Amino acid sequence: MPNCIVNGCPHKTGQKDKYPNVTLHYFPNNLNQICNWLRQTSQYDDNLQSTANEILQSIKTGRHRICSEHFTSDSFIKKGSKRVLNPKAVPCIFKRQPNPVIVTAMETMPFQCHKRRRMEDEEASTSHTLVRIVNQYLTIGTQTDLNLFIDVSTSTTGLACSKDVACGENQDIRPMNIAVQTGDDSAPAETWRVIKDHSYPVLFSTPSKLPAPFMTDNSQPPIFETAEHALPLDDSFNMCDAASDNRSFESLTLTDASRKDITFSSMYEPDDSHISNLTDDDSTILDPVEEIHQRRYLVFNENLDQLFYLLKCQHNIQPPCQAPIVEINKKEYGTLIEVNLMCLAGHCAFTWKSQPLYGQIPVGNLAVACSLLLTGSSFLKVKEMFNLLNMPLISHTTYYSYQKRYILPAIELAWIREQEVLKKDLFEQAVVLAGDGQFDSPGYCAKYCTYSMMDVITKKIVAFTIDQVGPGKKSGAMETMAFQTTVTNLIDKGVDIKILATDRHSSVRLLMKTKFKNINHQFDVWHICKSLVKKLTAASKKKNCKDLATWIGPITNHLWWSAQTCDQKVNVLLDKWRSVLYHIANKHTFPKLKTYKKCQHKPLTAQEKKERKWITHTHPAHSSLVKIITDPLLIRDISSIEKFCHTGDLENFHSKVLKYRPKRIAYKMDGMHARTMLAILSHNNNVNRPQAIVKCSKRTTQPIGEKRFRLVYPKHKKNWVTKPIYENVTDEHLFDIMSDAAKILNGNIVHRWESRSINLPKNIADKERPEKSTAIAERYSRFGR
């Protein structure tokens, strides 16, 4: 996979999702221009000509490339809809890549010459290397030099300090220049060259005592230079056996400095202010990652034991025990494992935990609980998956305890922030809303009804109400009560609702006429078309009426078109709707209608007229069709769709809700609220996603940059249709919710969250008839129950 030739640059092919604005460009097909590009990188000065010839020979394969991050914005030109590189452009942007440790190393075998070597290009070896660190220059010499030598293992798995190296906050940290020594002379080296040549961490160990010549006048130890900070050296650390560090080395990174409660005298615990995270992708120092967002890995038990048996006893005695490990004891606390090692001498050699702790709660346990709820998963399914993987998991009681204490308050905080954003767009101005209810189960056995309000302009959910069945409250009345509560809350908050579109629910219609007279009540066009399809489909199944089936689609499309083009005038809308009776009879002028006189389509050809199955007044289906189209109730409802409001996007939101709270699973009121909030946050963050474009021409015949579509076959239409493909859904807000849950656990955020669950009796009928409950209790008391 081709990648950018610049050292330390993480960009390569196949990363469009991660870096959508970065492109990799081929080298020019000219030797002089190739040499000019390579000179700009300043990393091929020794073999510039040979490298340029190699690139020129492989120009057709595109194996060598430079990414767009190293070119200025004026280096690109527009060619049609594409942005291409100017033929005369030259890369000139090369950011300095910070590094965890800057060292120069040589093997301890007899030195034949003094030169720098790149350890990442060599195979791992068990031999040691020697590095000399001085105050102003970093030099390489032999073992006979009377200078400080630090033993460096060639294994580049992590960084650990020892008994002679420690991080002291009050140490005198001075800047240090770097030089490469060749022969007996030392000359300052360019900093960026050293940085690019040593973009890897190194595992350090040192003798127990520092040579006297390296102690400064004020008895401060020399410093150990990193990319941005320096680590002072003193005699309070034992640097032997870096593998005994109780930290988890994640992707060559030293993290988890917040664990202050578990310390070992022989361990080095770096602070986040000194050492940052290093990722696998770019080997650069990044900002510290929160513990709850750090990467995790699947580690097998046998491989973990192999690692622990390599350690030596770390018992703090003089002289050090250094006995081999003979016993490994493990304890599981949910997803956390605590390991206690016993050495041959009977000491408790080492104690290690696989996760950091938030007080007494493992971070992994909270992260699993957050991930389980925030993805809309079921605990039983996840538990079954962990059982198949033979991995430990928290219990269901622990999960619900975390959910109630930390996760549900964090979700409510995210919803409060979302409401603050919506407040700026809605409050103190006229808005157009669309509302619809959704039950948690079909039929008349529903327990909850969720009524949601969507802003028709922005297509975002602005409010919702969840109502619950209770004494004297049936499931059929819940939608009206939830609707009334939602509208009342919005009005009380200062939202000026001018138009409100709903379905044709009779109770909602009556409520709008009596209590909310000032709001223009519109019906949803989609619901009316859906009802019309049912009536026409039933009429087409009558005897001699099958020709009506071919007109179902055109008739519903005509109603949709009439509402869309009536210019918000009811009389125009009704005339356009009545014109369908003339059109299906092959009459395209309507002298009896006042505002709409003729069809707006092109004149039909003789062949088209012949192929059509016209329904004239003599056709058996004509009377049924006239009865449906001129139905007074339908005409009354059509008179309330002149604003052309529809809740199609609200139906899409209802589909999103099913991801977080499927109808097959019963939830309590707290779970219903939290999962509805998650669905709303996901919908609002992705509602205005742009349509995806073609990025690779190998998978499609469309040119690069064209908008993407897909063919689908809806069952109700029974015909192939094209639908646009949008960009992938991004739920970045879930990471913020996890961070808030961790902050609530740590006490950094205090949120007063109150449960909404109502403790109803198991049998509501028993509460209404207490004499029946008393009789049942007396009967069971006879048997001692």
> Does 212 lie in the same domain as 65?
no
Nearest CA to 253 among 222, 297, 212? 297
Burial class of 634 by CB neighbour count within 10 A (0 to 12, 13 to 18, 19+): middle
Residues 89 and 139 both lie in one domain? no
pLDDT value at position 96? Answer: 56
- Dist. CA 502–CA 509, nearest whole Å: 9
DSSP output for 589-632: B-TT-SS--B--SPPPPHHHHHHS----TTSTTHHHHHHHHT-H
Q: Does residue 44 sit in the same domain as residue 135?
A: no
Residue 221 lies in a domain: yes
Bridge partners of residue 496, in order along the sequence = 430
Q: DSSP for 309-343?
A: TT-B-----SS---PBEEEEEEEEETTEEEEEEEE
Between CA 337 and CA 106 the distance in angstroms is 39
In a domain, 578, yes or no: yes
Q: Model pTM greater than 0.85?
A: no
Query: CB under 8 Å to 259, separation ≥6 — which residues?
Result: 269, 356, 357
Judge residue 517's burial from the number of C-beta atoms within 10 Å of its C-beta, 0-12 exposed, 13-18 middle, 19 or more buried: exposed
Which residue range is the domain that position 248 belongs to?
Answer: 106-297
Which of 277, 297, 317 corresponds to the end of one domain? 297
Query: Does residue 223 sit in the same domain as residue 269?
Result: yes
- Residue type, position 120, single letter: E
**Residue 287 and residue 191 share a domain:** yes
Measured between alpha carbons, how far is 155 from 175 in angstroms, rounded to an integer?
Answer: 27
Alpha-helical (H) ranges within 661-732 are 669-686
Residue where a domain stops, chosen among 599, 614, 638:
638
Q: Is residue 88 part of a domain?
A: yes
Angle between helix axes 733-746 and 363-374 (nearest 10 degrees) is: 140
Residue 48: count other Cβ atoms within 10 Å of its Cβ: 15
For residue 3, the cross-strand partners are: 12
How high is the pLDDT of residue 516? 92
Q: What is the pLDDT of residue 429?
A: 79
Residues 91 and 65 sit within 8 Å (Cβ to Cβ): no
Please report whether residue 783 resides in a domain. Answer: no
Beta strands at 709-712 and 163-165: parallel, antiparallel or unpaired: unpaired
**Are residues 538 and 624 located together in one domain of the fold?**
yes
| Residues 224, 118 share a domain | yes
**Alpha carbon distance 358, 336 (integer Å):** 12
Residue 319: cis peptide before it, omega within 30 degrees of 0: yes
Q: Is residue 630 part of a domain?
A: yes
In DSSP notation, 228-248 reads S-EEEEEEEE--S-GGG-SS-
Q: Among residues 593, 611, 638, which one ends one of the domains? A: 638
Q: What's the gap between Cα 8 and its chain centre?
A: 26
- Tell the residue number behind the tokens 């700026």, with chain if given: 424
Same domain for 41 and 172: no
Angle between helices 31-41 and 48-57 (to 10 degrees): 130
Give the model's pLDDT for residue 130: 32
Flag whether 68 is in a domain.
Answer: yes
CA pair distance 246, 352, nearest whole angstrom: 5
Question: Using CA atoms, how far apart are residues 167 and 182, in angstroms rounded to an integer?
Answer: 32
Q: Are 47 and 54 in contact (CB under 8 A)?
A: no
Residues 154 and 53 in one domain: no
* Whether residue 600 sits in one domain with residue 532: yes
Successive 10-residue mean pLDDT values, the chain, 785 residues: 84 83 87 86 81 84 86 83 83 64 38 39 37 34 34 36 38 38 40 38 35 38 36 36 36 35 35 37 51 91 91 81 90 94 88 90 94 94 95 94 94 93 82 92 83 92 91 82 93 91 91 92 91 92 88 92 92 93 90 89 87 88 91 93 87 91 90 94 91 80 84 79 88 93 91 75 44 41 37
Which of 119, 1, 118, 111 lies closest to 64, judged by CA?
A: 1
Which stretches of 427-474 are DSSP H helices? none
Same domain, 530 and 632: yes
Judge whether 305 lies within some domain.
Answer: no
Quick one: pLDDT at residue 42? 78
Q: Are residues 190 and 154 in the same domain?
A: yes
Is residue 425 assigned to a domain? no
Sign, Cα dihedral of 684, 687, 693, 696: positive
Q: Could you give the number of structural domains in the chain?
A: 3
pLDDT of residue 241: 38
